[in-house]
Amino acid sequence: MSNRYYRMRLISATTVALAGGLFTASVAAADSVIRWMHVEQVPANITVWNQIARDFEAKHPGVKVEMQFLENQAFKAKLPTLLQSKDAPSIFYTWGGGVLKAQSETGTLRPINAAIDANGGEWRKSINPSAVDGLTFDGKVWASPVRTGLVSFYYNKELFKKAGVDASKIATWDDFLSAVKTLKQAGVTPIAGGGRDKWPLHFYWSYLAMREAGQKGFADAKAGKNDGFAGKPFVKAGERMAELGKLEPFQNGYLGATWNDALATFGDGRAALILSFENTPATQASNSTSRKGLADDNIGRFSFPVVSGGPGVTTDSFGGLNGWAVTKNAPPETEEFLRYMASADVQKLLARDTQIMPVAKGASEAISKPLLKEVAEALGKETWHQNFLDQDLGPNVGAIVNDISVEVVSGSMKPAAAAQQIEDAYSLERK
């Protein structure tokens, strides 16, 4: 989902070098060259990444890091061909999930188990376990975690106070539905929704499915057990989403609203809630009519609630998970470079200067903004990290989940039929 924030722009290697400072040594003169391919376009962030590479080079004479930064779509278009060629990068940015798993099965990558478990598992133990687990397939770690994310509810404190709703009391789905009703009764639009883009509404179905099925139930569904995604937990998730839809909780015209429209609705104070990314305090402001939006101290956050009787817990998280994958012919120093980038000091630097959600234990202390720090601390305590479904289940199935989420919440599709559509699509991926 983080890729939704990238514009269609290609940054050349020359531009990157200028943004981060020209290289001081010739790559050709190096004994070992690590070719690093990343998705990035923010000049200030590029400067930080360049500095990390130069610092590593200084500590490892004879090793050079050659950097290439591409815009999102250009990256995705170029990578498959590169992986099959002699020009494959040593490491590249990955969103994990089904795409990474498919890449791991082609023989173009090498797992990093030996490195991450060396010295008594020193590297592995320094990272939040759920981040490593999320990039592990068939018992092998196929990428080094670099950043994670968390979808949460953000709310307007003033509107909650006006309606007499206490966010700290919202623990279960029934509590949430009760809060929605109370907000409506107070004349407040409860939720900002972006139905036109579809994926913003799939957050609800995804979280409800996680709460109803739990981690084991979700894994069983992927394996085709218990009727797969057509099983009871996933039908129940749809039923709970339909319950929400019947309350008409979203702003007028939400089915034609984009995600940016939803952010504007929240940022303008025209809705009390939004289920959104960790960068919401910034994006609601930039999309608001005033371009200032809600003040940070008027925004609160709470985790997606649990469902009564379901195995899912509040520390089961839903959000992005990104890492660095290693290609099979990468030089032997590549894993050492990844270990360096995953170190607490580097992760603190990234958290402070690029505002990523770090994966190294203790790195969240470098985040100063209260809401971002709260997210980082929540991620540090998570028990299961579920990646976005258009990554985890693959883009084809992810598109189905997006479609049915809109259909179910708007009342135009029955939950059982929706669950069956997902299962029918995913059954093709299992073959």
**Which residue in this structure is represented by tokens 């290693």?**
326
Domain ranges of the chain: 2-149+320-386, 152-318+393-430
- 63-70 β-sheet, strand order: 63-70, 32-39, 91-94, 321-326, 144-148
CA dist., res. 188 & res. 32, Å (int): 61
pLDDT digits (tens, 9 = 90+) for 214-266: 999 999 999 999 999 999 999 999 999 999 999 999 999 999 999 999 999 99
Q: So what CATH class is 152-318+393-430? A: alpha beta
Which residues of the chain register pLDDT less than 50?
Answer: 1-29
pLDDT at residue number 228: 98
CA dist., res. 416 & res. 231, Å (int): 9
Domains 2-149+320-386 and 152-318+393-430 share a fold: yes
User: Helix, strand, coil % (nearest 5) of the chain?
Assistant: 55, 15, 30
pLDDT at residue number 207: 98
DSSP 236-275: HHHHHHHHHHHT--BPTTGGG--HHHHHHHHHTTS-SEEE
For the whole model, what pTM was predicted? 0.82
Asked if 293 and 287 touch (Cβ cutoff 8 Å), the reply is yes
pLDDT at residue number 391: 83
**Which residue in this structure is represented by tokens 């990104």?**
322
CA dist., res. 406 & res. 249, Å (int): 13
pLDDT at residue number 30: 59
CATH fold label, 2-149+320-386? D-Maltodextrin-Binding Protein; domain 2 (3.40.190)
